[in-house]
Chain A
């Protein structure tokens, strides 16, 4: 059978966002794959060089629309590292609570897109409905639904809303009950398992060498979670377990994300109950020092990093953004070769693509 290149994208219902996957197909099985990105390149690193430190906050939100808060927080951490600031205790706990809610909302958004890809409209609707609970919580905290702009350099924008503790505990109980229902909906149906088990295998060595990070890495068996191993904010005061799974196939990635949501509920409960009183924000200096700052955070999609170079003025000299999906997608070839064309949907869906951060 003649091998031919097929373009899955850039405008294709399977790709969430604008990127193109060129696969070489021999009959139905994939022989070679070559992803192409860059369709949504906005030149954010160049934009940030012409804006003051505070004005970059809303831009950092718009890096990845699925998990806006974690990028906003990563930027704040980088500049705090550059300026050598220390965030007050309450600010750290508020950040941890907000980040974990954002993680659950982002994983639910992934679950919705993943179910819709496999044909289950009902999975999409259920996941989106349950995501609303956390979107409302974050909206009460920060003020908007998608781009929260909640973190500030040196703390958090607003204090927790009234009876925030009661609402978030109730939300955690609700989502844990719902995830139990999802197990029926997904793992109960053999059709879902047929489409997921043993598809898109990624070995442990490949995952580490290719720079895959986050849930896909932990799904391949590597027990490495930045929140646990390089604790930032007040994660060291909260005990939780990184989730791993030995197989490394699509089912493992699905499994890791579902249990990570349960872990996030545990973290939220501890963060909300242990939250001390007091200031949640300090006044950040206007002009940054000459020097470099590094932020390294566990984004719902992987290891997000930012490297800022300050030159004494109130604008950064250079701001480099490391996007987890940009590197994980480069490893797409190793997951795709040998599987069917219909599996591309499941494998690429498992990576929780967010093109905003890939193309910057």
Chain B
């Protein structure tokens, strides 16, 4: 039909009639047949799709305060704020400065526990610049996250709680795909089960058989971004526990190393030195341990201080 239109200019007889006929039918169409194309804004609102990237919504229960979103934000418009919450205790949640935010949606994708979402509210104008710096409490909405269909797949993996684990190796024998291997933890003389998650099918036999309930099957979201892994050097670790306290995901446990007690003045035995042990399945790659460690015991390639 485009070729049919290929008329030379000379015989475009309509000189001015055809465009007028065209606009005429448009008047008829919008006056009599349908309503005009526009909506009367303050009284009528457009329905926005659920994927619309508007004002952020934060689920306090899901968020673990790992500051991944703060690090990935291209405009540095997020900051971690320490809060005192009645039921969650002392927590750290991100606040957003909408004045700088460019609504790119990267923070929503990098969040390991899918706590941060972007709602459909876009009327954020305000006369006072400080009022568009939203405090975490302003962004809080604990049941918005469940209503949103999340595209990332969830798969259940065994999660180890090292304090309860006594190193009895029952889970290693039980696992049908043999993906659990008991690795000795250097210096502490105890053993710790290492999971190769690629082979794990997630039936949870190891969780059932574990005598002291150290292994628990948890739903973990797949991550779209490759997150850095911490590497630990025993030599320079003084066992101060700063990294264990800093880790939001609880992936670092302090285990004491027998035989390193120093004899104190009164001949009594001092407490044994401690060392950090990493459960890498829980790690979300936020780099907080790397920044907390003052003795360079933890290496993370590519993460800046």
A positions within 8 Å CB-CB of B: 51-52, 54-59, 61, 122, 126, 129, 132, 139-144, 147, 149, 152, 157-159, 161, 180-181, 183-193, 197, 258-259, 262, 281, 283-287, 313-314
B2 adjacent to chain A (CB < 8 Å): yes
> Which of A58, A185, A187, A314 lies in contact with B23, CB distance below 8 A?
A185
Given A149-B105, A193-B9; 9 other pairs, CB 8 A cutoff: A54-B225, A58-B104, A59-B74, A149-B104, A157-B109, A159-B151, A185-B19, A189-B18, A281-B224
Smallest Cβ-Cβ distance to A286: which chain B residue: B226
Q: Are A283 and B225 in contact (CB under 8 A)?
A: yes
Q: Are B19 and A283 in contact (CB under 8 A)?
A: no
> Which of A140, A180, A258, A285 lies in contact with B51, CB distance below 8 A?
A140
Interface of B is mostly: loop
- Beyond A143-B51, A144-B52, A283-B225, whether A189 also contacts B9 by CB under 8 A is no
Q: Are B49 and A188 in contact (CB under 8 A)?
A: no
Q: Are B19 and A139 in contact (CB under 8 A)?
A: no
B134 adjacent to chain A (CB < 8 Å): no
The minimal Cβ–Cβ distance linking B33 to chain A, given in whole angstroms, is: 15
B14 adjacent to chain A (CB < 8 Å): yes
Q: Are B103 and A144 in contact (CB under 8 A)?
A: yes
A186 CA / B118 CA spacing, docked (Å)? 42
- Beyond A161-B49, A191-B16, whether A54 also contacts B5 by CB under 8 A is no
Pick the 7 closest A-B CB pairs, nearest first.
A188-B18, A58-B104, A143-B53, A55-B74, A140-B49, A184-B22, A189-B19
> Which of B2, B53, B227 lies in contact with A144, CB distance below 8 A?
B53
Q: Are B302 and A313 in contact (CB under 8 A)?
A: yes
A61 CA / B51 CA spacing, docked (Å)? 18
What are the residues of chain A within 8 A of B26 when measuring CB–CB?
A: 126
Q: Could you give, for residues 26-67 of chain B, a 1 whenever the CB lies within 8 Å of some chain A CB and a 0 otherwise?
A: 100000000001000000000011011100000000000000
The minimal Cβ–Cβ distance linking A91 to chain B, given in whole angstroms, is: 12
B7 adjacent to chain A (CB < 8 Å): yes
What are the residues of chain B within 8 A of A58 when measuring CB–CB?
A: 74, 102, 104, 106
Q: Are A139 and B49 in contact (CB under 8 A)?
A: yes
B21 adjacent to chain A (CB < 8 Å): yes
B265 adjacent to chain A (CB < 8 Å): no
Q: Are A188 and B14 in contact (CB under 8 A)?
A: yes
A190 CA / B37 CA spacing, docked (Å)? 29
A132 CA / B46 CA spacing, docked (Å)? 12
What are the residues of chain A within 8 A of B53 when measuring CB–CB?
A: 143-144
A190 CA / B52 CA spacing, docked (Å)? 44
Smallest Cβ-Cβ distance to A120: which chain B residue: B19
The minimal Cβ–Cβ distance linking B73 to chain A, given in whole angstroms, is: 8
Q: Could you give, for residues 268-283 of chain B, a 1 whenever the CB lies within 8 Å of some chain A CB and a 0 otherwise?
A: 0000000000000000
A286 CA / B210 CA spacing, docked (Å)? 36
- Beyond A144-B52, A184-B21, whether A189 also contacts B5 by CB under 8 A is no
Smallest Cβ-Cβ distance to B1: which chain A residue: A180
> Which of B21, B72, B151 lies in contact with A158, CB distance below 8 A?
B151
Smallest Cβ-Cβ distance to B25: which chain A residue: A181
Q: Are A189 and B15 in contact (CB under 8 A)?
A: yes
What are the residues of chain B within 8 A of A143 when measuring CB–CB?
A: 49, 51-53, 105, 118
Q: Could you give, for residues 192-213 of chain B, a 1 whenever the CB lies within 8 Å of some chain A CB and a 0 otherwise?
A: 0000000000000000000000
What are the residues of chain A within 8 A of B17 when measuring CB–CB?
A: 188
B238 adjacent to chain A (CB < 8 Å): no
Residue among A157, A284, A313 having the largest count of chain B Cβ atoms under 10 Å: A157
B130 adjacent to chain A (CB < 8 Å): no
Smallest Cβ-Cβ distance to B285: which chain A residue: A286
Q: Are A190 and B16 in contact (CB under 8 A)?
A: yes
What are the residues of chain A within 8 A of B18 when measuring CB–CB?
A: 184-185, 188-189
- Give residues 207-252 of B contacting A (CB, 8 Å): 223-228
> Which of A55, A56, A122, A314 lies in contact with B302, CB distance below 8 A?
A314
Smallest Cβ-Cβ distance to A262: which chain B residue: B2
The minimal Cβ–Cβ distance linking A300 to chain B, given in whole angstroms, is: 19
Question: Can you list 11 A-B pairs, Cβ within 8 angstroms, ordered by A?
Answer: A56-B74, A58-B74, A58-B102, A143-B53, A147-B104, A157-B109, A183-B5, A184-B22, A283-B223, A284-B226, A287-B302
What are the residues of chain A within 8 A of B21 when measuring CB–CB?
A: 184
Smallest Cβ-Cβ distance to B3: which chain A residue: A259
What are the residues of chain A within 8 A of B23 when measuring CB–CB?
A: 122, 185
A149 CA / B106 CA spacing, docked (Å)? 9
A157 CA / B226 CA spacing, docked (Å)? 15
> Which of A129, A183, A258, A287 lies in contact with B301, CB distance below 8 A?
A287
Q: Are B12 and A193 in contact (CB under 8 A)?
A: yes
A230 CA / B183 CA spacing, docked (Å)? 53
Q: Are B102 and A152 in contact (CB under 8 A)?
A: no
A142 CA / B106 CA spacing, docked (Å)? 12
